[in-house]
Amino acid sequence: MRILLVDDAVSLIRLYATSIEQRLGHRVVVAHSPREVVRLWEPHGRGRDPEAVSDPFDLAIVDLAFPRERDTGLSALHFIHSHSPQTRLGVLTQGDVWTEAVLRDAWELLPIQLLLSKGGDLDRQLESINRIVQGGEVEVDPTLRPLLPTTANTWRTPQSFRRLVSHQGHAKLWRALMDGAESPTYVGVAQACGLSVNTIKNYRSQLVSELEFHGLEAAGLSEMRDFAQRCRPFLEPYLLSR
Query: If binding is defined by CB under 8 A, does position 94 make contact with another protein?
Result: yes
Q: The dihedral of CA 58, 147, 8, 20: what is its sign?
A: negative
Query: If binding is defined by CB under 8 A, does position 21 make contact with another protein?
Result: no
Give the Cα separation of 235 and 53 in Å (integer): 26
Closest distance of CB 8 from another protein, Å? 9
Backbone angles phi, psi at 8, to 5 degrees: -90, -10
* Footprint (CB under 8 A) of another protein, residues 108-147: 117-122, 142-143, 145-147
Helix (H) or strand (E) holding 30: strand 27-31
Cα 96–Cα 150–Cα 143 angle in degrees, nearest 5: 35
Looking at 26, 27, 69, 100, which residue binds another protein (CB under 8 A)? 100
Non-local CB neighbours of 162 within 8 Å, separated by 6+ positions? 238
Give the Cα separation of 84 and 64 in Å (integer): 19
Of 120 and 158, nearer to another protein (C-beta) is: 120
Looking at 54, 134, 151, 205, which residue binds another protein (CB under 8 A)? 151
Looking at 149, 157, 168, 220, which residue binds another protein (CB under 8 A)? 149
Of 86 and 151, nearer to another protein (C-beta) is: 151
* Footprint (CB under 8 A) of another protein, residues 39-78: 65, 67
Of 111 and 119, nearer to another protein (C-beta) is: 119
* Footprint (CB under 8 A) of another protein, residues 171-210: 183
Of 49 and 105, nearer to another protein (C-beta) is: 105
Cα 59–Cα 35–Cα 87 angle in degrees, nearest 5: 15
Q: Give the range of 6-14, 27-35, 198-206, 234-242 binding another protein by CB under 8 A.
A: 6-14
| Amino acid letter, 83 | H
Q: State CA 198 to chain mean position distance.
A: 33
What is the chain's length? 242
Provide the binding-site residues for another protein, judged by CB under 8 A. Answer: 9, 11-12, 15, 19, 65, 67, 94-98, 100, 104, 117-122, 142-143, 145-151, 183
